[in-house]
Amino acid sequence: MSSSSASSELIGHCLCGEIKVKIERESLNDISNGAYLCHCENCKRAGGGLCSYGLRLPEDKVVVLDSKSLIKKY
């Protein structure tokens, strides 16, 4: 995720840059939903390593910007 030090929000995006995700920096103060490492084959391939790191956040703390409706479920 990229951010400026003065910003109260963090903004990240997918590899192509078309889908963006915004979270308030303040929401990272409470990680009671948990941070985790995933060692499944998909996460290993996606990250190119032994595992991927993730952080569960409440849905109301995350804003997904997908103006072209590119998000798909599988």
**pTM higher than 0.75, yes or no?**
no
> Is residue 70 included in any domain, yes or no?
no
d(C-alpha 24, C-alpha 39), whole Å: 28
pLDDT tens string 8-23? 899 999 989 999 999 9
> Is residue 53 included in any domain, yes or no?
yes
pLDDT at residue 40, as a whole number: 94
> Is residue 31 included in any domain, yes or no?
yes
> Is residue 33 included in any domain, yes or no?
yes
| Kind and range of the H or E run holding 67 | none
pLDDT at residue 51, as a whole number: 93
Domain containing 59: what range? 9-65
pLDDT at residue 49, as a whole number: 93
> Is residue 44 included in any domain, yes or no?
yes
Q: Show the tokens assigned to 58.
A: 């409440």
Where are the strands (E) in 6-72, listed by range? 9-13, 20-24, 35-38, 52-55, 62-65
d(C-alpha 53, C-alpha 39), whole Å: 9
pLDDT tens string 14-70? 989 999 999 988 877 776 668 889 999 999 998 899 999 888 888 888 999 998 999
**Counted domains in the chain:** 1
> Is residue 14 included in any domain, yes or no?
yes
